[in-house]
Structure 1
């Protein structure tokens, strides 16, 4: 089975010694993220995130379907991850690695199970018709920090997406096109984001947003998911190193600051995209058609 090329003994020793001297290979502070870039596609619901050399694209799609029998008043929302072989030699189509399994679990708990999306707003006719929303996460380039980048991509894509409006006549639902009526934003209840901490030297040293080389040297990782209001959605730990409770509390304080910064950054990009689309765009065209 293909796997990631293992880091050499010399590289491992060099990184560990540098960390003991409070130095990261790229010169960042221990609690600093790499440069974050976010771009939206021409269609609604496509977010392209670059975190350093790591690149993730999330795409939201929707269709009308029958709701689940046990959730008659809810729509359907699912997250699907896809690791491209061009992102890493360890990734192979149809054979999920441990990294892909962990990413799927974290995104599931962080976004879907925390009720970030109001699924009741996706219901069209109770028990008969609803919107089925799907978030496809494509890993394009892998240099560490996949969980953080993927969570940013999915949440940004959800906030950017617009679902079509619907007219209900009895038990019949008519989906309107963009030209007939302006699409509707999704009902987002809160914006959870992930911050990953990598631990070294039996928990004495921790890094935020580790690169791939730093991830291969770490002893454990802790993923803290919270929203900008300080509400913790989940805390996940992988690896054998023990973590001091006070250190964990410190992680949540750092995560809150990072999540607030990322939330403001996402909102800024959403506002920029909205301004680009509104200049003489769809709204102007709809107004002209209504006037005629």
Structure 2
């Protein structure tokens, strides 16, 4: 098995045999069935575009920022979307600070492929001045704890952060109509991104020459698995991307079974993401109402009127 498929968790031969023999009986060391997903928790920060996702023992944070840049020459009317991942040695002893390793690059590519190539984010709506200025959206993913299946957790964190992000409102004016004015949120309400669909990544691990399949592999299972596949799908059943990260070969029938299961899991996770975002938007609207109502109250003190 290639090193990038697993992790640095050192296991004894007896531990590996125990995990493999349990999987033959459709049992897993954490008590789950082969196609049971771990508990998924989605939280949001105090600012728009920040999310925190916990999948079992795996913990990932995401932050979305924007910047006005020049567009690519071959796409003068489209903005840009980029994914950056930071691995902390506190999350896993195998992670090294500084230059991203092979697994970090691969993880970023899987998430980037699912989001960009499926055109989930409307990049044309990010255009301000054709050929001159567009919004570049950057998603920073921070791995806080590696409990296995970083791909799925990071993908959900990126989607949740993108759904709650709002870019500043800007207007074009000036004598030549080429002057761009970016308005702060206190002046004009920022705009949310236009997202057409949610590509959700679902990962599978293969054992026993590809005959045994489990979903959402844990940290220990990744250390002994013989192969891995990630299917990125949306609620419409569209396959946005498929990544088979080396390892042992898998039969066509097994791949199709994984895609059917991934379609059901993707619909369930999409519902959880939308519910969490709806709750966040409701709380955000209430905070905004309270902030504005506090400015309406006035206090009359003699001839002067003061705003509270």
What TM-score does the superposition give when structure 1 sets the normalisation length? 0.94
The aligned counterpart of 1:184 is 191
The aligned counterpart of 1:48 is 52
What is the DSSP-based 3-state SS (H/G/I as helix, E as strand, rest coil) of the residue aligned with 1:207? strand
What is the DSSP-based 3-state SS (H/G/I as helix, E as strand, rest coil) of the residue aligned with 1:135? strand
1:238-257 aligned at under 5 Å gives the runs: 238-257=245-264
Question: Is 2:252 aligned against 1:228?
Answer: no
What TM-score does the superposition give when structure 2 sets the normalisation length? 0.89
* Count of aligned positions: 288
The aligned counterpart of 1:219 is 226
What is the DSSP-based 3-state SS (H/G/I as helix, E as strand, rest coil) of the residue aligned with 2:269? helix
The aligned counterpart of 1:165 is 169
| Aligned partners of 2:82 and 2:137 also within 8 Å | yes
The aligned counterpart of 1:64 is 68
Runs of 4+ more than 3 Å apart: 286-289
The aligned counterpart of 1:76 is 80
The aligned counterpart of 1:200 is 207
Question: Is 2:26 aligned against 1:31?
Answer: no
What is the DSSP-based 3-state SS (H/G/I as helix, E as strand, rest coil) of the residue aligned with 1:148? helix
1:94-105 aligned at under 5 Å gives the runs: 94-105=98-109
| Aligned partners of 1:179 and 1:286 also within 8 Å | no
Structure 1 residues 123 and 205, CA gap change in structure 2 (3 angstroms): same
Question: Within 1, Cα distance between the matches of 2:39 and 2:290?
Answer: 34
| Aligned partners of 1:166 and 1:174 also within 8 Å | yes
* Stretch deviating more after TM superposition (280-289 or 106-115): 280-289
Aligned pair partner of 1:85 in 69, 83, 89: 89
Q: Deviations over 1:94-122 (max 9, x none)?
A: 24333212201101211122211111111
**How far has the Cα of 1:244 moved from its partner?**
1.5
| Aligned partners of 1:38 and 1:50 also within 8 Å | yes
Which of structures 1 and 2 has the bigger CA Rg? Answer: 2
| Structure 1 stretches lacking a partner, 5+ long | none
| Aligned partners of 1:63 and 1:133 also within 8 Å | yes
**How far has the Cα of 1:288 moved from its partner?**
7.2
**How far has the Cα of 1:287 moved from its partner?**
12
Question: Is 2:134 aligned against 1:130?
Answer: yes
**How far has the Cα of 1:253 moved from its partner?**
0.8
Question: Within 2, Cα distance between the matches of 1:128 and 1:175?
Answer: 15
What is the DSSP-based 3-state SS (H/G/I as helix, E as strand, rest coil) of the residue aligned with 1:136? strand
| Structure 2 stretches lacking a partner, 5+ long | 1-6, 297-308
Question: Within 2, Cα distance between the matches of 1:286 and 1:158?
Answer: 29
Question: Within 1, Cα distance between the matches of 2:115 and 2:230?
Answer: 13
